[in-house]
Chain A
Amino acid sequence: MKIVVAYKWTRDPEEARAGADGTVDWSRAKPGLSAYDPVAIELARRLAEATDAELIGVTAGAVGVGAAIAAKAALSRGLDRTVIIEDDSLKGAGRAELAAVLAGAVRHIGDVDLVVTGDSSVDVAAKMVPTLLAGELGWPAVAEVNELTGEAGTLRVQRAIPGGVQVLEISGPAVLAAAADAAVPRVPGMKDLLAAGKKPAEHLDLASLNVPARNAVLTVTSTSRPERKARKGQIIDTTDPAAAAVELVQALHGAGAL
């Protein structure tokens, strides 16, 4: 059995700032493994250990996503090897394009039984790459997955639904997006980091994947910073909690909020 984990090396918008014209300044944001990807790797790794499967990472993006530090961060989480498509034509690529490239990599690896992704990426947070990837491959996609058992051909998947959970059986290859709380990722130790440096990281040439061009062209014609409501920023003295509460309630009545 071959299990692929699609991961993203990117930056957190929490550390970015938008200028007055909407231009996003990423200079203070350090790249890292996207927040929920360690959960995906952990969930996939447990199934890989239970079924003696090979666990393979895949990532695609602009130059930098295949840097040694990036590959090591992913490999130290328990992947057996990783496959990297690093090309500056993917700088700022849309999720549809990235999904098509990832699909090309999954086909290149061959005989893949399962692809696991994180819940969402820390930068875009759209939760669309797994569904687009499944669309490219013609496989089923299931999101919010919090338990994963079985083996290739008879996977048992539990996913969260509003107010409960649902157990699904999948009898073929699939793309699964792990729920953000599906597993507590292990923190890699020094031994894992040393081992990661010796694991294979294969770089694929984007052109070799023959990813068909998109039918749509996007042109950003302008950017702006969203207008935010100005906040009063009034701090109410809480030395006496009861008095503070009365002051707050009066202020809220005054503001028409109650």
Chain B
Amino acid sequence: MSVNAWIVVGDQPAIGNLIAVARALGGAAGADGQVAAVVAGPRPVAETVAASGVDRVVWCGGPDDAPAEASAPAVADVVAADPPRVVLGGRNPGERVLLGAAAARLRAAVLTGALSVSADGDGVVVVNAVFGDISEETVAVSGPVALLMDGGSIPPAADRSVPIEEVTAAPLAIKVIETKMFGFDEVDLGAAPRVIGIGRGLKAKEDLALIEALAEAAKAEIACSRPVAEGLNWMGKDRYIGSSGAHITPQLYLAIGISGQLQHMVGVVGAETIVAINSDPNAAVFAQADYGLVGDLYQLVPAITSALK
């Protein structure tokens, strides 16, 4: 049996969406196309993937102190030995590296904004969002294509597990010397029904207490714009929303002290209801909100918190 789709997997087996995309494609192409996964992360990741309903699993993990990226050439070898129609990888730094190595080896096209993927004869048709999602292109691809997509959640265990094929290859000369954790809570913003996003309108890190009180009253998760997670480092990077961060579709998104730039708002266009609070009446965010409150967030946020109680 030939491989129709390879899924590249790094340190986390969060590939539920990739399996679904690959399966849908295999079905349309006939029964002979396998969905295979190649895992560069630790062995337990390969074990989870082997029980996730894929047809084949290859593990090419390196030594314990090698990051998943060290196995990128091994992953490319595995994929090129059984060339597929598509290679799929999730949006995290490790899988991007594995996908890049595989795509370079296959001389494949690379698309990163796929909204839907379907089979068309020997090729595939991809509806692909481009330029901060301001436009969508329908692209017909003949030849191999690498797709960077949302990985999705960890797939539930299927009733059968496939054997793990092991590949031993010399890893690249890169090793982990030290790992330091900051102790930020990890969050799954995608699963939260209500999300509060804060931007640079918040003046000091201590003022997060105001936002936390609101979040508790509204039973919401807290997220932020990119500068708050990066330049200011007030929160973990998994909490920033935008074109290169999280894309979420909550029932409610409260944008507080956020100006409303495209790079941020593209991450929340799918929200059911958007509320904007900003002191600048001309802020772009108001044109993209259902309810706008022009004013001082330091007055408005506590008022909303009390109104919710």
Contacts and interface: CB of A to CB of B under 8 A. Distances in A.
Q: Do A and B come from one complex?
A: yes
Interface of A: 13-14, 16-18, 22-24, 94-96, 99-100, 119-120, 123-128, 130-136, 138-144, 156, 159-172, 174, 179-181, 212-226, 228-229, 231-236, 238, 241-242, 244-246, 248-249, 251-252, 255-258
Which 4 residue pairs of A and B lie closest in terms of their CB atoms, listed nearest first?
Answer: A131-B100, A135-B104, A216-B143, A245-B303
B251 A248 contact: no
9 contacts: A96-B108, A124-B112, A124-B131, A163-B181, A164-B182, A219-B139, A224-B138, A226-B269, A233-B292
A60 to B, nearest CB: 15
A217 to B, nearest CB: 5
Secondary structure class of chain B's binding surface, majority of residues:
mixed
B293 A236 contact: yes
A235 B285 CA distance: 12
B112 A126 contact: yes
Contacts, number: 298
B274 A141 contact: no
B243 A125 contact: yes
Contacts of B69: 140-142
A258 B101 CA distance: 45
Contacts of A22: 135-137
B261 interface: yes
Interface of B: 67, 69-70, 72-73, 76, 93, 96-97, 99-113, 125, 129-146, 148, 172-184, 186, 194, 218, 226, 230-231, 233, 236-238, 243-244, 251-252, 261-263, 269-270, 272-275, 286-296, 299-300, 303-304, 306-308
Given A160-B237, A171-B173, A252-B273, A16 B286 contact: no
B73 A217 contact: no
Contacts of A143: 93, 96-97
Nearest to B227: A181
B67 A170 contact: no
